[in-house]
């Protein structure tokens, strides 16, 4: 068994390239297209709107918007309008964002409270009627949308890595989004925490466990892995410098901690990624190889509890890689 396959688009991609990839993903049978939005990269809305018009079936998700830069009332306004445009295919992800980037333009005093308030206010506004809510980070005083949303039950997922954030997801969200470059062993633990929190809150466990992961596929599995190593190495270096403490812990303390520490030390000393990252370590952070090998790696994520694997193609010919990966899963 493998998870549903989705496409992840990031702010480094121009909208036109996202549209090409989204159309290829829909043709390949992918379930969703996810748009990451981080400060100072491209905003998600232009590419997402263009993809909504260019496709007919795939869900289009935002993973994630942060309430530190977008008020929950604005989130509700925008996602409700986008759900109309996409004819009921919108999915909203809310998270605190990357602290090192967000705090340059906004205060990040109560990240968990901000996420909780954002989910509660946005969901209430989507249900219609007047909303009054007093939160620790955000409040609403008799606010309502001036139009009736197409759906009151637009799925709202939260991004979570730390234990408190994972428990919050279990108590209020429809699902979780797990960061890029996180080993399946962490995801297995995260799913357990979410389910435990949901049970304590006497609510069903969130249905969706979405994980982001880079991938490279090709007829020559060794070449695809080399390509992935050259891409993943600088990503790991960047994440260890800028990601949240919880994300850095998830990267380093699960999977192969000793090998990870040695590899990072060698990368910092200037050694080549191909010489430092072996195939086993690469498999903790990326999917790479022949189509059959990639499918086998997807199954590992399913065993960890992932319901949707949002993959980002590494290198050129992204649409071709999407088509080959989709064909291998049929």
Q: Which of 197, 220, 225 is CA-nearest to residue 281?
A: 225
Q: Which of 261, 239, 264 is CA-nearest to residue 161?
A: 239
Pairing verdict, β 139-143 and 131-134: antiparallel
Structure confidence by residue, pLDDT tens digits, 168-216: 999 999 999 999 999 999 999 999 999 999 999 999 999 999 999 999 9
Residues present in the chain in total: 330
The reported pLDDT for the residue numbered 160 is: 95
Q: What are phi and psi of 312, to 5 degrees?
A: -115, 115
The reported pLDDT for the residue numbered 329 is: 79
Going by pLDDT thresholds of 50, 70 and 90, the confidence category of residue 320 is confident
Q: Which of 181, 186, 265 is CA-nearest to residue 229?
A: 181
Q: What is the pTM of this model?
A: 0.95
Tell me what the mean pLDDT of segment 43-47 comes to.
96
């Amino acid at each position: 068994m493998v998870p549903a396959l989705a496409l992840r688009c990031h702010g480094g991609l121009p909208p036109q390239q996202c549209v090409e990839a989204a159309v290829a993903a829909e043709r390949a049978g992918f379930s969703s297209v996810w748009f990451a939005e981080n400060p100072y990269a491209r905003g998600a809305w232009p590419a997402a709107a263009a993809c909504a018009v260019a496709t007919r079936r795939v869900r289009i998700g935002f993973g994630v918007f942060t309430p530190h830069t977008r008020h929950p009332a604005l989130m509700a306004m925008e996602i409700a309008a986008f759900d109309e445009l996409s004819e009921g295919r919108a999915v909203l992800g809310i998270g605190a964002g990357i602290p090192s980037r967000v705090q340059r333009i906004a205060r990040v005093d109560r990240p968990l409270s901000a996420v909780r308030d954002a989910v509660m206010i946005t969901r209430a506004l989507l249900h219609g009627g007047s909303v009054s809510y007093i939160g620790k980070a955000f409040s609403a005083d008799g606010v309502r949308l001036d139009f009736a949303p197409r759906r009151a039950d637009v799925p709202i997922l939260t991004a979570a890595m730390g234990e408190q954030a994972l428990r919050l997801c279990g108590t209020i969200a429809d699902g979780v989004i797990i960061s890029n470059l996180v080993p399946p062993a962490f995801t297995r633990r995260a799913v357990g925490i979410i389910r435990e929190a949901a049970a304590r809150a006497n609510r069903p466990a969130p249905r969706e466990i979405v994980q982001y992961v880079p991938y490279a596929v090709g007829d020559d599995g060794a070449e695809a892995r080399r390509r992935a190593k050259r891409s993943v190495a600088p990503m790991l270096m960047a994440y260890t410098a800028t990601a949240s403490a919880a994300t850095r812990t998830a990267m380093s303390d699960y999977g192969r901690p000793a090998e990870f520490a040695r590899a990072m030390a060698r990368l910092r000393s200037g050694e080549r990624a191909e010489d430092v990252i072996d195939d086993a370590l690469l498999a903790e952070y990326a999917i790479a190889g022949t189509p059959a090998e990639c499918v086998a790696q997807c199954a590992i994520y399913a065993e960890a509890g992932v319901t949707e694997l949002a993959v980002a193609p590494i290198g050129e010919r992204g649409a071709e890689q999407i088509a080959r990966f989709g064909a291998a899963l049929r």
